[in-house]
Amino acid sequence: MEKKLSKKALLKSFHNWYYGHLTCFSQEHMQTFGYLCSMLPLVEELYDDEEEKAKAMNTYTAFFNTEPQLGTVIVGITAGLEEARANDADDVDDETINGLRAGLMGPVAGIGDSLVVGTLIPILLGIAIGMSGGGSPLGAIFYIVVWNLIAYFGMRFLYFKGYRLGAKAVEFLIGEQGEAIRDSVSMLGGIVIGAVAASWVSVKTSFTLLNEAGEPYLELQKKLDEVFPGLLTTIFIVFCWFLMAKKRMSPIKVMLLLVVIAFLGVLVGFFNPGLSY
């Protein structure tokens, strides 16, 4: 009799991944234990013998790490492959499953980081910031609600789509179509990041030179605006990109460095925070 995964087991597997993909997260294992948790309900339903269950679960102890939202499709694909293996499919074994997982980690992470982290999240944050004018909590509420709805239903769709497609999804994700998608999404992500930076980041200087009468005869910001409006903002953004992309500095270290620069800038009079006491 052919073994078929129930929707209940598939949903439990999906929820284990959705809520627990960072289970016991470490630099050594990354999302490996989260993957194990997501496969457990499927293995429990497909196999009766304890040794078979242990052998099946051992397949998923290999290192795994990808972008978790889009990476849900990999979990769905392996759910379909595990079902096929339980039905004694000749071309599905440990090596096939782990080879597929290892082969998809990178391409899916590339698409997911560009699409989710580089495009979707900045768009949602841009809308949320616009709604938060005057200290309104609507922006925060909007982001929390909309992001969680998109993440949950989007990941659920990808899980079941991967389960139905099985190995057929591999060619699409790592072939020429997948490469074209990654390039397109990366370009779109760059455009979105640039638009968000131009809209919400503003760096201006208050540096001014006074004449003998105490009147300003050089206001640096006005001169910069005449030559290149937004020059300091551009320098600021490129500087942050250089530190994170080229020097591999963490975002936290970059933010601390910017705090130091801002403090020194205010101290020497290059920046004016506009505070009054």
What pLDDT band is residue 172 in, cutting at 50, 70 and 90?
low
Q: What is the pLDDT of residue 268?
A: 84
Domain range summary for the chain, segments of one domain joined by +:
7-194, 203-268
Whether residue 90 has pLDDT greater than 70: no
Nearest to 236 by CA among 217, 254, 214: 254
Q: Which of 19-23, 85-89, 102-106, 181-185 has the lowest average pLDDT?
A: 181-185
Whether residue 169 has pLDDT greater than 60: no
Whether residue 184 has pLDDT greater than 70: no
Strand bridging mode 216-219 / 208-210: antiparallel
Ramachandran sector of residue 95 (left: φ over 0; alpha: ψ -120 to 50; beta: rest): alpha
| Placement of tokens 């994700």 in the chain | 173
Does residue 102 or residue 166 have the better pLDDT? 102
Identity of the highest mean pLDDT range in 22-36, 140-154, 178-192 = 140-154
pTM of the model: 0.64
Instruction: State mean pLDDT over 147-173.
Output: 79
Query: What does the H/E/C string look like for 52-111?
Result: HHHHHHHHHHCCECCCCCCCHHHHHHHHHHHHHHHCCCCCCCHHHHHHHHHHHHHHHHHH
DSSP-assigned beta bridge partners for residue 219 = 208
Q: What is the mean pLDDT of the chain?
A: 81
Contact 169, 73 (CB under 8 A): yes
pLDDT in tens, 198-224: 777 788 888 888 777 777 777 888 888
**Side-chain half-sphere exposure of 7, counting CA atoms within 13 A:** 1
Count the neighbouring beta carbons within 10 Å of the beta carbon of residue 112.
22
Helices (H), the chain: 7-20, 32-46, 50-58, 72-86, 94-112, 121-131, 138-165, 168-174, 176-200, 220-227, 231-241, 251-268
* CA separation for the pair 42, 163 (Å, rounded): 12
CA dist 222 to 100, 212, 213, 217, 234, Å? 58, 21, 20, 11, 16
pLDDT in tens, 109-158: 877 877 787 778 888 888 888 888 777 888 899 999 999 999 999 999 98
Q: What is the pLDDT of residue 260?
A: 92
Q: What is the pLDDT of residue 170?
A: 52
And the tokens for 164? 């139905």
What pLDDT band is residue 12 in, cutting at 50, 70 and 90?
very high
Task: Fill in the amino acid letter for 118.
Answer: G
Could you tell me what percent of the chain has a pLDDT over 90? Answer: 10
Whether residue 163 has pLDDT greater than 60: yes
Q: Which of 44-58, 66-80, 186-200, 237-251 has the lowest average pLDDT?
A: 186-200
Instruction: Give the DSSP H/E element, type plus range, for residue 210.
Output: strand 208-210
And the tokens for 34? 């989260």
Contact 95, 170 (CB under 8 A): no
Contact 8, 45 (CB under 8 A): no
Q: Mapping DSSP to helix (H, G, I), strand (E, B) and coil, where does residue 217 land? A: strand
pLDDT in tens, 51-87: 888 888 888 888 888 888 888 888 888 888 888 888 7
How far is Cα of residue 48 from the mean position of the Cα atoms in its chain?
38
Whether residue 25 has pLDDT greater than 90: no
Q: What is the pLDDT of residue 192?
A: 66
Contact 233, 221 (CB under 8 A): no
